[in-house]
Each structure stands twice: as structure tokens, then as C-alpha cells.
Amino acid sequence: MTHSTLRAQKALVNPKTLTQSIRHVLLIFMAIFTLIPVMLVISTTLKTPEDVRVNPFGLFTSFSSQNLIDAWTVGRFSDYLLNSVLLTVPSTLLVVAISTMAGYTFARLPFRGRTVLFYFVVLGLLVPFFTFMIPLYFQLRSLGLLDTLPGAILVLTSTGISFGTFFMRAFFSDLPMELEQSARVDGASEWQSFTKVMLPLVGSGIGALTVFTFLANWNNFLVPLLYLPSGDFRPLTAGLYMFTGGRSLDIGPLAAGTLITILPVIVLFIVLQRQVTQGFISGAIKG
Amino acid sequence: MNNLLRLTAVGVAGVLAVTIAGCTGGAPGGDSDDPNTIRFMIGQPEDPADLELTEQDMLKFEEETGIKVELDVIPSENVRTVLQTQLRSGEGPDVFGYDTGPGFAGALSDAGLLYPLTDAYAEFDWPVYEFAQERVTFNGDIVGIPNDIETLGLFYNMTLFDALGLDRPESTSDLLNACEVIKETGVIPFAISDQEGWQGGHLLSIVLSSEIGSQATKALIDGEASWDSPEVVNALQTLKNFNDNGCFTPSPAAVTYDNANALFYSGEAAINPTGSWLLQDTERNVDFEVGYIPFPASDGPGIFSGGLGAGLFISATTKKAEAALAFLDYTMTQEHGAWVIENAQSIPAFPIDTTGIEATPLFTQVLADAAKIADGSGDFGFNIDVLMSDTFNEAMWNGVQAILTGQATPEEVAASLQENY
Amino acid sequence: MSIASRSLAPTVTRRAQARLGIVLIIPVMIMVVVFFLIPLVNALYFSVVDFNGVNPNPPFIGLANFERMFTDPKMWAALSNNLIWIFVGTISPMVIGLLVAMLLWSVQRASVVYRVVFFLPYILPGVAIGIVWGWIYDPVNGLLNEILRAVGLGAVARGWLGEPDVALYAVLVTAIWAGTGFAIVIFLSALRNVDVELVDASRIDGANSAQRLWYVILPQITPVFIMVLTLTLVGGFSVFDIIFIMTGGGPAGATEVLGTYAYSNAFQLNNIGYGTTLALLITVLSVPIAIALNRLQRRLSLQGTSA
């Protein structure tokens, strides 16, 4: 106790405070550098369309909501937002559900050949999407799933289950064996043991996985680009890209569209930042 | 337990078999609908306003003929892949807009996916210009209707030129001279963009066509002359010279199409080498007088490079041929042509009586020039990239970029063009 | 990563477990087989035929695609770009990330705010990042050139994304901006697990900061370090989004990497077979590295000091 009071007194005149301040200055500097691009987007979005033309990248020289309105209506970003939701929510739910079931099995339910199956799943983590994205395109075409919402959802789901399974397995592995045994002694079936005992205990894992998967799927660019070529269910990422490809002069609505694309992610992250960072760490250490 | 495992294995194997069997094949397809409804697919127009125009047009057509048109709009980059997929599986649109070159409509025609229109041309007596008809003829059949003609040339800031005492450039030395004068004033002479890459094709087209004339250019395109030749090297060298002399925007490969246009519109650059499609946009955005001239040759004013824009085609497997043909016919009337000129500011590919049509002086001039091209009384060069294969175009686009950035010499690029022909 | 494969429970239970296990595993296995394994096998098939996307019976051409790939100067150019990317793009976020994490470690106040701010770029979609930085790099009125001109460094201003020598590095800077946040957050959490008493003890023993870092701190965060290294390295071979958006591989291929080259071959030039072969190359390069690093990490985390 005396130690800390002494410290407090020392802190006032201590060179350590100076170092702390320097540290803060450095950090603030880096923080600004990190935030500039985001501020650029916000500033350009909020400019009047004329100002965008004249002085596109000056920061915050005027204010108008015209660009947002244009992006939302003419630019159809309201549609894209809806499509992003339509793609991301089902695929995230599927990934979490499938991965949790699989993770539990690989952690706790042995049967012959389980290890081999696990290697197959893990292979999905090692092999880059690139390798099979082209054949997958033609395969979807012959299954009649190309250019369909269910098709794209399934592909998005498939990109997340390797990591998801791996992740949930780690969480389930950490739970002590005694829990299962006592549940069994109490007469629970395997299914009840899973749903009533084990599942509730990996809540934080499920939460973290949900957040990651949501982020990854929301931001996914390649999958909608390739597998929804006719643009029917174009989500924000693909929509943003198409918006740039056209020979248009409209940086204002483009900035607004960019803002619409990144805002949900930022908000989600700020609200759930603890989940995300915790989750990453656990994944790292348990890996 | 073993049974369950076995069952699962069988199930998985089944799915496996089915999918491998169909891996490169087409999709299940086909739908039969009301014979008075046709599906019309187009790539996304750059300007949303253009889309509205198209929709209005469709409605008018429906009023006149009772045939409903379902519009299918696709991101323009994906048109080729989507079209191929759908046409092959028999699920294609009845009518679609597509590029007319050999790499595009030509490829579809080779694959037998286009409805032959030679008879229809005779029956309906479509007055499409000869040269335009040729461009949509493959394997002996006319397969499409050209939508519009586009020309490539230089838009220039006439007001600025006048102020600087410069005349309309009628030779490359005039142009270089103008460039020096303009540079002095701090204005960028040429608003060159080449970040996207395709601009390179246009640049080469206009320099080459003007310099060696249409016959020689056609010979190159048809493969009768080699691209690895002094003429081509010279054309590339011309571009390099202009660039080295500071006549182009600094670091052109970093400048986007939009940026370059913006520079021209704001008066920061004096000349914009692009095409007639940008006319409407240009007039909307500038507050000075604009002129439109061909890129000059070393010995004269040069010729415009012209080409077809896109065209309309009918799918070979359509079940609504009658309705589709009626649709095509609708676009061939004088009224439609006039409407297109006035509203979309594009140049129809058949003769139009321009009296009484409201168009700006500049556009009227462009129309007149185009008419001369089209009825054969004027000479015109070629827009190379619509007539060549993908691999050639890629080499051309990369090549011009490389010249502008100093990554390659004109000789090297010419050689690679010939290689990729 | 040990899988408890022998249950200690009686046979009846083992059978019940196995039954439930199989049922629960079916969804993931179906997904893996249909959407991953089968296309993967097809990839091998595509790489030995001449498929242009249209013909249902493409001709078999054996190893021609592979031959072509190894003699293709553009492939080697792309690969060398990947290597530059991996080298610079791995070291930078790791080093910067570690330094910033250490800065944050010693700062008590507002650390949550900092963490959120630094992690932010990592969660943004690649498309958006590419677009915004495209504006910053714009040669005419981009923010970077404006700032350079404002501080009198106008001579340095250039067309960042359009000049072959600079473009790749410009895109790299963007990627580093986007990726460092990940390293910062991970390292910070790992640092939190470091045994501070050991560090203090070493300071008392007279070790300076560099020595403390190298001999005391780093060894304790090695497993995490390796994990970040693995992810970054493997990602370096399959990088696509950012380059595709910002330069499309240009100008004239100066920023082309294996990923963009494979994409353009497959989807723009209709050389499906060749594009797939290139994609396979990406796999062949990244898989061994990933496995090796994973083994290394496991070995280290087993013998290392964990908190």
C-alpha cells in the first residue's frame, strides 16, 4: 500500500511520466495515421456534390447529405445493404451451428476414422481458396446453384467451417472430462450431455466465432464477385467495386457507398470488440 | 454404428458421383413463356440515366406492339461469362446487347449461339450501313444489328486555343507546337489516362490510323501485315515522344479515366483523346467551346477512327423469334434513330435525316462526320480493340502502359503485338 | 493438438458417443466434400486439360500447362512480386505491431480506445480499403501528394499507383496499414501473459531494454509470434483483393502477383486450365510453409513457458 502511494507521489515529478507522455504522443500520432483514411471517407461523403468535384480530398470543407441519398437511392446501396445481410446472416448461423456440432464431435465423441475426417477438415485451412475457386464455379453451374442466393450462402458457409470447427474444437477440448462423466452418471443421454451441459459452457467461444465469421463474410469480396455474376444479389463489397468500374465521375456517392459498407462493421466491432480480441487470442494460444 | 457409417459413405459417394459427372457441363434450363414477352439482357450502362432511357424505350415499344420486354441488367464486366453460361444452357435471353467484335459476337457465332439475321435483313429491309453490316457478319451470316457508331478523336478546348492564338492542329508538328505553347501556361496539354489500361488501345488506334491510313490499318487488323513493323513502332514512338516531352498528364498510368476527364472539364488540361460516347458528358460539364478533331498525321489532318459500339443479337435457341425480330425492327425506324440522337446522343448505324433534330452544333458536326464515314464518302480508321482477340488486346493494353511508364520500348511492344496476334 | 481418441467410458457409452458423433459430423463433412474436396480434385483435372469455359469435353493436354507455367516469364515476375510482398509485408506488421504493442503495454490509460482504433483497419473490407487508398494515392488531387506539396516535398509527389517501381510498394503500405492492427492486438494480449516479474528481475540484473526484449520477453510470446507469422506468410501467397482493386496487376504487370495473374487468366482470358494451374502453384507453395510453421509452433508451445 505504501509502495503505491509513494509511486503516486513520484509520478508527479518522475521522468517516467515524461516517458509516458512521449508514449502517448507516439500512440496518438499513429492513431491519427490509422484513422485518416476513414476520416477521408466520412469527409468526402458529407461534402456537397459540387465541392466533391472541385476539392475532392480536402478534409471536411462542407456538409451535405446529398451523397448519402444518391448512394442509397440511385446507387442502390440500400439494396446492396440488404443483400449483404441476406448473405451474411444465414451463412454465419450455418457456420456456427455446423462448426459447433463438428467441434464437439472431434473433441469429445470418438469413433473409427474420426482422425482422418479431422485432417480433411483441417486441410481446408491450409489450402487457399484460389486453388478450387475456379472448379467450384463450374461445379455450381452444373448444380444449378450459380448466380443463386442459396448457392452463394453455401459457398460462404463452406469457407468458414474449417476454421470454425478448429476453433470450437479447441474450446470443447478445454472442458474437463469429469463434466461428461457426471452427466452420464446422472442418466443423461449423449445428446442431452451435449446440449444441456457442454454447449452452455462454450458460450464465449460461440460468441467470438459468430463475430469473426460475420466479419469475414460481410467483408468477403471474391465469393459474391465470382458466384453471383449477374449481379442479382450483389452485396456491398461487390456493389462498391462495380460502382468504381463504371465510367462515372461520382466520387461523392462512391464515398457514401464506402461509408455504408464500412459503418456496420465498425459499429459491430466497437460494440463487440472485447469478444473479437478475446476470441483471437484463444484461437492463437490453443492452436 | 458401422451401418450408419456405411450409409453416410454411400450418400457422400452418391453426391460425389453426381457432381463429378456434371463438372464441366451446363446447367438445367429452359423455360417456356408467353410468346409476347421477351427477355432482353444488357450490360450496365455507365450512367443510370441511360438505363432510364432504355426502360422508357421498352415501354414505348410495348405500347406500339403489345410485346413486353423484360430487362435484365448485368454488370458489364460479367456480361460475357453470364451470356455464355446462359446461352449454352439454353436459358439465354431472347435478345441481348453485346460487343460486335470477333472476340465477342464472333465467338458466339462460331459456337452457333446466334440467330442468323440475313433473311430478316432482306425481309425487313433494314437500312444499316454497309461497313456496319460487315462488322456483324460472321461465317457468312449477318447475325446482329449494330446499335451505334462511335468515333475516336480529340476533344480540345477551342476557347483556350483561340486565346493562345493556336489554330486547329492539322499535323503532328502543329500538335507538338500547340503542346509547347500550352505547357508554358501551366496547363497540361493532353489529358491522358491509362490506369485502367484500355485507353492504350484507343491511343494506338488514333495515332496509327491517321498516320498510315485506313487501308494499311485494315491490313494489320486482317493479319496481312505484321505488327512488328516500322509503322507500328513509329506510332508507338510518337506516343512515347509526346509523353517524354511532357505533353501528357504526369504519370499517365496512375491517372484514371474519370480523373483525366475531370482535368479536361475543369480546364486544367487542353486536349482529351477519347471518343464520341463522351460527347454528351463533355458538353454538360464544360464552360468553354469544344472542338472535335482526329489525331493528326505527320502530313495532314488525319482521319477519325471509327467503329461500331455494341450491337443487338438474338439467341439461336429463342422461342420468341417473331417478337424478337419485331423488337429489332423497332430500333431501325427513323423515329427511333432521331430519338436516340436527341436523347442518348449516340450515332445510329443507319442513315438518318438530321433535319429538324435538336442537337448541339458539336454533335451535329460529329453526326455529319460519322455519316460521311458510313456512306463511304469519308475515310476512317479503326478502333483496334473491338476487332481483336483478348490476348492481343491484353498485349496492346499492357504494351502502351509499358511505353508510358518506360518499362518497354516501342520495338519490344510491336514485337509482342505480332506475337499475340 | 492431441485428439483424445480413446474414450475411457464403457462400451455402451462409446457406441452412443460414436452414433451421436457421426450424426453431428455429417453437415460439416458434406460441406467439406462438396464445396472443397470435389472442386480440389477437379482443379487437378482442369490443370491437365485445355478448357475455355465453354466446351463440355475439353481435350486432354497432359502436363502442358505446367510446362507453360514454368517457362512463363510473367509467372516468375508475379512470383517475385509475391516474394517481395511476403518479405516486406510480413516483417513490417510484425515489427511495427510488436513495437506498438509494447508501447500500449506500458500505457495504462485509454488502452481500450487505442486497441479499437488500431484494430479498425483490419476489419474493413478489402474493397473499401483499396478504394480509399486509391484516393489518397491519386496523382492529381490525392491526399498524399497534397500533403507532400504542402510541406514543400512536392518533388516527391508522383503517380504512386501508376509507376512500375513504386506501385507495388504503395499497395504494400496500404496492406501494412490494414494488417498491422491484427498483429498489435494479438501481441498485446500475448504480452499481457508475459511474466512481468521475470522482466523486472532481469532489469535488476542489469539487462538493458534490448536484452530484456530479446532474452526475456520474446521467448515468452514465441508461439503467438509464430502464429501471426504463419498467417501472414501464407496470406502473402494468396493475396488478391487489395492488389486487384488498387491496380488490377498493372501498370503493365508491375504489381501482378500469382493471385491476380491466375484470376485474369481464368476469368478474363478464358484460359481456365492455365489459371487453375497457377492457383495450384499457390497451394503448393503455401501448404508446406504452413505445415512447417505449425509444427514449429506446436513444438515451441509445448516446451515454452506459458503463463
Closest CB to B407: pick one of C54, C158, C252: C252
Q: Which residues pair with B98 in a beta bridge?
A: B311
pLDDT at B73: 83
* Yes or no, beta carbons of C24 and A109 under 8 Å apart: yes
* Yes or no, beta carbons of B5 and C22 under 8 Å apart: yes
Write out chain B residues lying below 8 Å of C38, CB-based. 16, 19-20, 23
Of the pLDDT bands very low, low, confident and very high (cuts 50, 70, 90), residue B272 is very high
pLDDT at A94: 94
* Yes or no, beta carbons of C132 and A41 under 8 Å apart: yes
pLDDT at C208: 77
Write out chain B residues lying below 8 Å of C252, CB-based. 253, 398-399, 401-402, 405, 407-408
Domain coordinates of chain C in residue numbers? Answer: 2-46, 74-302
Distance from CA of A230 to the nearest CA of B (A): 5
Picking from A44, A51, A131, A212 by the largest number of C CB atoms within 10 A of its own CB, the best residue to mutate is: A131
Of the pLDDT bands very low, low, confident and very high (cuts 50, 70, 90), residue C172 is very high
* Yes or no, beta carbons of A132 and C227 under 8 Å apart: no
- pLDDT at C128 exceeding the cut of 90: no
Q: Report the length, in residues, of chain C.
A: 307
In this structure, the strands spanning B95-99 and B310-314 are: antiparallel
Of the pLDDT bands very low, low, confident and very high (cuts 50, 70, 90), residue C256 is very high
pLDDT at A84: 92
d(CA B53, CA A253): 21
Of the pLDDT bands very low, low, confident and very high (cuts 50, 70, 90), residue C18 is confident
A95 to chain C: nearest residue by CA?
Answer: C28
pLDDT at C56: 67
Total CB pairs under 8 A between chain A and B: 67
* Yes or no, beta carbons of A281 and C124 under 8 Å apart: no
Closest CB to B258: pick one of A112, A143, A248: A248
Residue B186's φ and ψ, nearest 5 degrees, are: 90, 0
Residue A199 contacts C, CB cutoff 8 Å: no
Residue A194 contacts C, CB cutoff 8 Å: yes
pLDDT at B10: 45
Higher-confidence residue of C162 and B21: namely C162
d(CA A139, CA C119): 37
Q: What is the pLDDT of residues B295-350, one digit of tens each?
A: 998 888 888 888 777 889 998 888 888 888 888 888 888 888 888 888 877 888 88
Closest CA to C123 of C190, C201, C34, C184: C184
* Yes or no, beta carbons of B28 and A246 under 8 Å apart: no
* Yes or no, beta carbons of C129 and A115 under 8 Å apart: no
* Yes or no, beta carbons of A142 and B5 under 8 Å apart: no
C141 to chain A: nearest residue by CA?
Answer: A57
pLDDT at C81: 92
B408 to chain C: nearest residue by CA?
Answer: C252
Distance from CA of B74 to the nearest CA of A (A): 5
> Using beta carbons and an 8 Å cutoff, which residues of B are at the interface with C?
1, 4-5, 8, 12, 15-16, 19-20, 23-26, 81, 84, 88, 111, 194-197, 249-256, 259, 262-263, 390-391, 394, 398-399, 401-402, 404-408
Q: Which residues of chain A have pLDDT under 50?
A: 1, 246-247, 286-287
Matching residue, cell 463433412: C29
* Yes or no, beta carbons of B405 and C164 under 8 Å apart: yes
Can the peptide bond before residue B127 be classed as cis, meaning omega within 30 degrees of 0? Answer: no
Closest CA to C225 of C135, C121, C300, C164: C300
Average pLDDT along chain B: 82
Closest CB to B46: pick one of A143, A146, A248: A248
| CATH number, domain C74-302, options 1.10.3720.10, 1.10.390.10, 3.10.580.10, 1.10.10.10 | 1.10.3720.10
Matching residue, cell 501498370: C251
Domains of chain B plus CATH, in order, are: 37-148+309-357 (3.40.190.10), 150-306+366-419 (3.40.190.10)
* Yes or no, beta carbons of C57 and B24 under 8 Å apart: yes
Residue A264 contacts C, CB cutoff 8 Å: no
d(CA C186, CA A193): 34
Residue B224 exposure: Cα atoms within 13 Å on the Cβ side: 6
pLDDT at B9: 46
Instruction: Please name the residues between 33 and 72 in chain A that touch chain C, using a CB distance below 8 Å.
Output: 33-38, 40-41, 44, 55-58
Residue A135 contacts B, CB cutoff 8 Å: yes
Residue B5 contacts A, CB cutoff 8 Å: yes
- pLDDT at B198 exceeding the cut of 70: yes
Dihedral (Cα; A280, A283, A284, A287), 10-degree rounding: -170
pLDDT at A218: 92
Contacting chains of C (3 CB pairs or more, <8 Å) are A, B
Residue A139 contacts B, CB cutoff 8 Å: yes
* Yes or no, beta carbons of A127 and C115 under 8 Å apart: no
Mean pLDDT of B114-118: 89
Contact C97, C180 (CB under 8 A): yes
* Yes or no, beta carbons of B254 and C159 under 8 Å apart: yes
* Yes or no, beta carbons of C162 and B253 under 8 Å apart: yes
Total CB pairs under 8 A between chain B and C: 119
Closest CA to B313 of B31, B42, B86: B42
Residue A113 contacts B, CB cutoff 8 Å: yes
* Yes or no, beta carbons of A236 and C43 under 8 Å apart: no
- pLDDT at B194 exceeding the cut of 80: yes
d(CA A77, CA A189): 49
Q: Which amino acid is at A153?
A: I
Find the range with the poorest average confidence among A245-254, B111-120, C53-62, C134-143. A245-254
> For a pLDDT cut of 70, what percent of chain C falls above it?
92
Distance from CA of C300 to the nearest CA of B (A): 37
Residue A188 contacts C, CB cutoff 8 Å: no
Picking from B89, B259, B405, B419 by the largest number of C CB atoms within 10 A of its own CB, the best residue to mutate is: B405
Q: Report the length, in residues, of chain A.
A: 287
Q: What is the pLDDT of residues B121-175, one digit of tens each?
A: 888 888 888 878 888 888 888 988 988 888 889 999 999 999 988 888 888 888 9
> Using beta carbons and an 8 Å cutoff, which residues of C are at the interface with B?
15, 18-19, 22-23, 26, 29-30, 33-34, 38, 41-42, 45, 51, 53-58, 137-140, 158-164, 247-248, 250-254, 264, 267-270
pLDDT at A52: 65
Closest CA to B341 of B366, B373, B309, B311: B366
Write out chain B residues lying below 8 Å of A248, CB-based. 46-47, 258
Distance from CA of B199 to the nearest CA of A (A): 12
Residue A147 contacts B, CB cutoff 8 Å: yes
d(CA C153, CA A281): 42
Please report how the helices C164-192 and A251-286 are oriented relative to each other, as an axis angle in degrees rounded to 10.
40
Write out chain B residues lying below 8 Å of C254, CB-based. 405, 407
pLDDT at C257: 92
Matching residue, cell 451421436: C20
Alpha helices (H) along B41-171: 48-65, 79-88, 107-110, 118-124, 130-135, 158-163
Q: What share of chain A is helix, strand, coil (3-state, %, to 5)?
A: 80, 0, 20
Residue A39 contacts B, CB cutoff 8 Å: no
Matching residue, cell 453426381: B18
pLDDT at A97: 93
- pLDDT at C58 exceeding the cut of 90: no
C-alpha distances out from residue A268 to A206, B266, C124, Å = 16, 41, 11
Closest CB to A273: pick one of C43, C116, C141: C116
Mean pLDDT of B206-214: 88
Write out chain A residues lying below 8 Å of B27, CB-based. 141-144, 146
